[in-house]
Every structure is written in C-alpha cells, then in structure tokens.
Amino acid sequence: MSKRIDEVDKYYKPIKKLDELNNILFWASVVLSLAVFYENKITLIGWHEWSSVLFIVVVAVHLLLSLYLEFLLVPLADGKRRKQLLSNSFGIPLTSEKTQEYYNNPLVPSVARLGANLLENLLFTKSISSRMASKERTKVLLYFVIWVLALSWRSTELGLAVIITQTLFSSEILALWVRIELLRHQSEVLYNELYNSFLHKINLENPNGVATSIDALLAYETSKAMTRVRLSTSIFTELNPTLTVEWNKIRKLLGIDNEPRE
C-alpha cells in the first residue's frame, strides 16, 4: 500500500498553532477583564497600574492575530488546497505541492473525477463538522446556564453580568457555534445533492453534469469562506479510519470505481 502524502498540510500547521494561541489570548482577555473589574479588591503591588494596560495589549494582539489568520494564512492555505483539488481532478499541475492517497477514486482526470473528489471532501466535512457542532452545543449550553444564573442572581454586579454576556456572545463561543452549524448544514445539503447526481447516473461530462459539478464546487468553497471554520485535526484523525471505510463502500455503491460514463 502506498504511503499517504499531503504536502499542502504544511500550510495548515501554523494556522492550527496560531489558533490555539489565539484561543489562549481570548480567555486571557476574559480573565483580565474580570481582574480589571475587581482591581480594587486585588492587593498585588503594581497591579492597578498595569492591569488595564495588560488587558489592552492582550485584546489588541488577539485582534491582530485574528486578522492575520483570517485574511492571510487561511486564504493562502485554502487556495493551495483548492488548486490541489483541481490539479488532482484534471491532471494539471496548478501547484507544486503533491498529494498521494488524499483523494481516493480511480476515475481518470475529468469533471467526473472532480465530482468524486468533491463528494469525498463533503463526506469528511459534514462528518467532522457534525462532531464539532455536537461538542460546541454542549459548551454553549453550559455557558448559557452560567449566564442565566448570573443574570438571575440578585447579588451579581451589573459589570460582571456585562462581561459574562460579552464572553458568551463573542466570536469564540456563540458565533463560532453558529458558523459550525451552518457549515455542517450546507455540507450535508451539498453532499446529498452530489450523491444523488452519482446515484441517478447523471453524465457529469455533458453540459448539465459539468454545470452541476462546478456549482457544487463553488457552493462548497463559498460555504467554507463564509463560515470561516477550520475543521478539527484531532476529530479528523479520530474519524479518518471509519470515514475511509465508508467512502470505499460509497464508491462501490455509486459505481465511482468504474470508468467515467460516455
């Protein structure tokens, strides 16, 4: 069996590390906002002079790092992945990065191979985002309970309630969950539509089939760009063996293992 190679992954590794750092900075800003709010009760020498400055610095670094990821590193990595998808689908070297055993179907370079590659991508995306959404629902529910209890507790100070509310409705918690749910839903819809195209033996090489594949590709890339969700590497590693077996079954069921239809 040939070894799996994915040279495009090198563009995603720094994104993962900076994402982890940015998450730490977010929670550090939450802790510091609480510390600033209660600074009169903290007796640490010099804290009053530095607490607000430290909070501003952490928030500013978090913002700059978020912009760096969103507008530079992520588009670069996604662009490389998109070019590699097209290179594999049509046998044209749009990028020097190589992959092996990343897309798994025996179709010759063609629009049909593009559709099969995209179907495999959507299978993984919908499965991983579904698991991510399930975990985020639990987290959001926990934060929501804390938020309700804080607002219901009469002795809760207004400033503390504002901080908790701001944290819950931030892009790192509630908004992230919504984006993951959107990606999960849209990838499931696109998967089902493309699956039916293969199931009903639609000729992907005629104008209707070409339009169907390109439309699915554009919708998929638009969904990723709109939601800005980075799929969990740990969940991918966990699900990969099961999803690979499932994909092999789907290939045989839909006849993707056969040569493209004339």
Q: Where are the domains of the chain?
A: 1-98, 108-262
Beta bridge partners of 100: 5
CA distance 89 to 197: 17
Tokens representing residue 173 in the block: 């918690």
List the one residue out of 114, 174, 102 whose CA is nearest residue 142.
174
CA distance 129 to 189: 13
Give the number of other CB atoms < 10 A from CB of residue 39: 16
For 53-112, the pLDDT digits (tens) are 888 899 999 999 999 999 999 999 999 999 999 999 999 999 888 888 889 899 999 999
For residues 161-179, give the mean pLDDT. Answer: 83
115 pLDDT more than 90: yes
Give the number of other CB atoms < 10 A from CB of residue 215: 13
pTM for this one? Answer: 0.88
For 174-223, the pLDDT digits (tens) are 899 999 999 999 999 999 999 999 999 888 888 888 998 999 999 999 99
CA distance 161 to 45: 27
| Composition of the chain by helix, strand, coil, percent to 5 | 75, 0, 25
